[in-house]
Amino acid sequence: MSFAPALRSEWMKIRTVRSLVGSLCAVVLATVVFSALAALDPGGSDFDPLFTVFFGVVFGQIAAIAFGTTAVAAEFRGGALRLSLSAVPRRGHWFAAKATAVGLPAFAVGLVTGFASLSVGRAVLGSKADGPGWTEWIRGAVGCGVYLALMALFAAGLTALLRSGVAALGILIPFLLIVSFVVGNVSGGVADFLPDKAGQVALHRAWDGSLGPWTGLAVTALWAAAALLAGAWRLCRRDA
C-alpha cells in the first residue's frame, strides 16, 4: 500500500473514533474557556495581554496530548497493530502515515483554537488588549496552532516508544502540570529548552529567556521529532 491510501486509512480511524474527535473538540473548548476566564482577571504589573488571550493553551495542550496518545495507543490493544501492519507491511511507512494523520488535524484544530481564543480574549479584555500590534496577535494565533500540533505529535511519539497510552500520559501530564513549573523556578535558562516552555514563548509579547517565538517552537519541534524517531525505532525493533 502506498502512502496516500495508508494516510486515508489512518485518517478514517481517527475521524470515526468518538474519543479522538472528543479530544479535538476539548482542545478548542478548554483553550477558549480558560483564555476568557484569564482575560476577566488579567493580573497586575506583569500583565501580558498576548499571553492572557492565549492562556488557555496551558489546559488545551492536555487535550492535544490526550489526542496524540489515544490515536497511537489504540494500535497496541486487541491486535490492532497486526492488522494495520498486514495492510502496510513497511512499519516506518505506516508510522509516518499515522503521525501525519495525527499532526494535520491537530494543526487545523490548533489554528481554529488560536484564532477563536484571539477573538474571545480580545473581546473580554476590551481596551486592555490595545498594546500588541496585529503582527503579534497573528503570531500568537499561528503559534498556538503549531504548538498544539507539536505537543500532540510529541505525545504520539512517546506513546509509540512506550507502547502504552497510560504510561505516556502518566509521564506527560505530571511533567506539564508539576515538574515543568518546579524546574522552571530552580534551573534558570535550562528550563527554556523544555518542550512546553520553549513552545509557549510564541504566546508571549516579551520573554526574558534565550529563545525567541520561532526558535522556541523549533525547540519543541525537535522534541517532537526525537519522540517520533524513537517511537519509529521501537516499532521497527519489536514484534507487533
Q: Report pLDDT for 206.
A: 79
Of 37-41, 71-75, 183-187, highest mean pLDDT: 71-75
Report whether 215 contacts 202 (CB < 8 A).
no
Distance of CA 68 to the CA centre of its chain: 8
d(CA 41, CA 119): 17
What does the pLDDT average to over 106-117?
A: 97
Q: Report pLDDT for 187.
A: 56
Split at pLDDT 50, 70, 90, the class of 230 is: very high
Secondary structure of 87-119 in HEC code, one letter for each residue = HCCCHHHHHHHHHHHHHHHHHHHHHHHHHHHHH
Q: Report pLDDT for 4.
A: 82
At 148-177, the pLDDT tens digits run: 999 999 999 999 999 999 999 999 998 887
d(CA 46, CA 179): 23
Give the number of other CB atoms < 10 A from CB of residue 42: 18
User: Domain limits of the chain?
Assistant: 3-237
At 187-213, the pLDDT tens digits run: 557 778 889 989 999 999 877 778 889
- In the numeric block, which cell numbers belong to residue 16? 470515526
d(CA 212, CA 220): 12
The alpha-helical segments, DSSP class H, found in the chain are 3-16, 18-40, 49-53, 57-73, 80-87, 91-125, 134-162, 165-174, 180-186, 195-199, 213-237
pLDDT at residue 113 above 90? yes
Residue with cell 492572557: 52
Task: Choose among 36, 38, 108, 33: nearest CA to 67.
Answer: 108
CA angle 234, 237, 239 (to 5 degrees): 100
Say which residue, 17 or 145, is predicted with more confidence: 145
- DSSP characters over 155-187: HHHHHHHHT-HHHHHHHHHHIIIIIHHHHHHHS
Q: Report pLDDT for 35.
A: 93
Q: Report pLDDT for 217.
A: 96
What does the pLDDT average to over 59-76?
A: 94
